[in-house]
Chain A
Amino acid sequence: MYVELKNINKSFGDFKASDNVSFEIEKGTLVGLLGPSGSGKTTILRMIAGLETPDSGDIIINGKRVNDVPAGKRGIGFVFQNYALFRYMTVYDNIAFGLTVQKVDKRKIDKRVNELIELIGLKGLEKRYPSQLSGGQRQRVAFARALAPNPQLLLLDEPFAAIDAKVRQELRTWLKDMIQKLGVTSIFVTHDQDEAIEVADTIIITNKGKIEQVGTPREIYTLPKTAFSCSFFGNASYLNNYEKFLSFDKIEGVEKAIVRPEFIKITKKDEFQKYVASVSEGVVEQVMFRGDTTEVIVRVNDSVIVAKRGLDEPTIDVGEKVNVFIYRIFVTVGDNAYLLENKNLNESSVVI
């Protein structure tokens, strides 16, 4: 294991930012620390960097306990949320700074900086100051600056938060490619689930100072293990009494039942519905055009749920009575989450 956190605790006054946090990260992976604001994800990142000190617990990098190693000596590259570019230095000097303070030979610095400027595609802008760059360019400079001293571990705090939505998409892909190409172990913090799913190899979900779940994006999305991780992903709706929906196993002590839009099939009364035996009738409350799909909000069995319909399907109007079929439901019992499949899906061949 390359990075290990063991039983980390950290409080700010009464606020518990890390509550017995432990996890491990393999060398070369790109890890996303995902959670809502205040979940303690940034604190974890800052403790790994040495910008905060844990109250208790061990931080181990490459087999060595680094708790007492000062931030500047941990060999870590850090990209700050607002980049923290040195406003009074040029792009070149920003990138060169880390090597300069290590008193690296001038010619080597020059070679490395030019190499990185080439890599981030900002050739010709070396003499610019940060204020003369666009948000995306600044992010690239921050990235290059963090990479210049060849860190073994790269930490990124909300790397895309300060960028326009349009450029963000492009930068995500760019950053993922870049990190894969360089093979540097990286951890980034984000509150954006799409970003985590798209960029990370491994996602660590944090909530209220605790680690909820660790896994690949696919695992986390399709098999959430905790109540929090199943409600955090997707555009989740809650069912007030899932027992009223047909063909699901009944489980003792269910607290919440959660469905995502892709778990739901909405059909017009006159449309073909394969599992018609298990549908419930609902009333459409709102229809919203979303560009690539239509979002439909339906009241069914006293619950209000969000579903989607393709643009090629017949349009649905507000107030219309529709058939609602649910493929699967996440139910939570205590802190654990379970997946319930609609039993009709397996029996369907028999029924017809």
Chain B
Amino acid sequence: MKKTAKRVIPGFGLSLGITLTMLSIIVIIPLISLVIYTLKLSPKEIIDTITNARVMSSFKVSILTAFIASIVNLIMGVVLAWVLVRYDFPLKVILNGIIELPFALPTAVAGIALTSLTTDNGLIGKFFAKFGIEIAYTKAGITIALIFVGIPFVVRAVQPVLEKLDGSYEEAAQTMGASRFTAFRRIILPEIFPAAITGFGLAFGRCIGEYGSVVFIAGNMPYKTEITPLIIMSKLQEYNYSQATAIALVLLIFSFIILFVISLVQHRNAKILKGG
């Protein structure tokens, strides 16, 4: 005769109802329709689509550029977080505020701005053109756009962790005779590592799927600078939904793997800290 327990705080039914309804319209039903549509595709069609040489090379371009951009952001993210937490200097508030620009600035605007900077006539492009280096319409250009997009992720993941480390850890290490660098490597780095990896993973996931900032600077030459989201977009413009879906599935699976790895890292870290 077990009844469901009464809840003391009111609003459970109402909240559950509204949450599920809205979630259904925006997330659940669209996801289900994706699954239904996928099931209608024949495995052969999916495999043929994704093993197509042009598609395969787009995966390579997307993963390579996203990876390099995220590595740059991993390193610079830790440096920026460190500088923002540990040092006082002029314009710190502005530096801290502008980090989030890529979240606030529409990607298309960033895309055209970066493109005009890096073409042969652009401020930066002109400089590199003297040495025969092209940036816009090459993989270097794509990487630069992706660096822009991914900047906030690592900084914002590492910053709160560094803020919580109140310096007594390093002091403890130093009283035991560790040098500042050793203290950083042995004490600080392990503390911020899970956060940095989380930020890296989020940036990587974002970069793999990025479209707006990349289309303008990429030049979109098949086999060379064509990224996967762009291939999906052109399939959609040809109303070729089945091939677009097949390629999208690969990208989706890839992002879920990234998310899974992030949660593994976090889980392992929580285990060490809480001994669970």
Contacts and interface: CB of A to CB of B under 8 A. Distances in A.
Whether the complex brings A and B within 8 Å at their CB atoms is answered yes
Contacts of A53: 3, 5-6
A50 B8 contact: yes
Interface residues of A, number: 7
Interface string B4-35: 01101000000000000000000000000000
A71 B8 contact: yes
**Interface of chain B: mostly helix, strand, loop or mixed:** loop
B6 A70 contact: yes
A162 interface: no
Contacts of A52: 5
A47 B167 CA distance: 46
Contacts of B5: 52-53
A53 B5 CA distance: 6
B11 to A, nearest CB: 13
A58 to B, nearest CB: 14
A68 to B, nearest CB: 8
**Most chain A beta carbons < 10 A, residue from B2, B3, B5, B8:** B8
Contacts, number: 11
B2 A55 contact: yes
Nearest to A56: B1
B177 to A, nearest CB: 38
A51 interface: yes
Nearest to B4: A53
Specify which of A50, A52, A53, A55 lies most central, judged by the most chain B CB atoms within 10 Å of its CB.
A53
Contacts of B8: 50-51, 70-71
A53 B1 CA distance: 13
B13 to A, nearest CB: 14
Interface in A42-57: 50-53, 55
Nearest to B6: A53
Interface string A151-173: 00000000000000000000000
Contacts of B2: 55
A53 B4 CA distance: 9
Contacts of A55: 2
Contacts of B3: 53
A51 B6 CA distance: 8
B10 to A, nearest CB: 9
A261 B219 CA distance: 89
Contacts of A70: 6, 8
Nearest to A50: B8
Nearest to A51: B8
A50 B2 CA distance: 17
A55 B2 CA distance: 7
Nearest to A10: B5
Contacts of B6: 50, 53, 70
A287 B5 CA distance: 54
B80 to A, nearest CB: 33
Interface string A68-82: 001100000000000
Contacts of A51: 8
Nearest to B7: A53
Interface string B61-78: 000000000000000000
A70 B2 CA distance: 17
A338 B18 CA distance: 61
Given A53-B3, A53-B6, A70-B8, 8 more contacts: A50-B6, A50-B8, A51-B8, A52-B5, A53-B5, A55-B2, A70-B6, A71-B8
The 6 closest A-B pairs by CB, nearest first: A53-B5, A71-B8, A51-B8, A53-B6, A55-B2, A70-B6
Interface of B: 2-3, 5-6, 8
Interface of A: 50-53, 55, 70-71
11 contacts: A50-B6, A50-B8, A51-B8, A52-B5, A53-B3, A53-B5, A53-B6, A55-B2, A70-B6, A70-B8, A71-B8
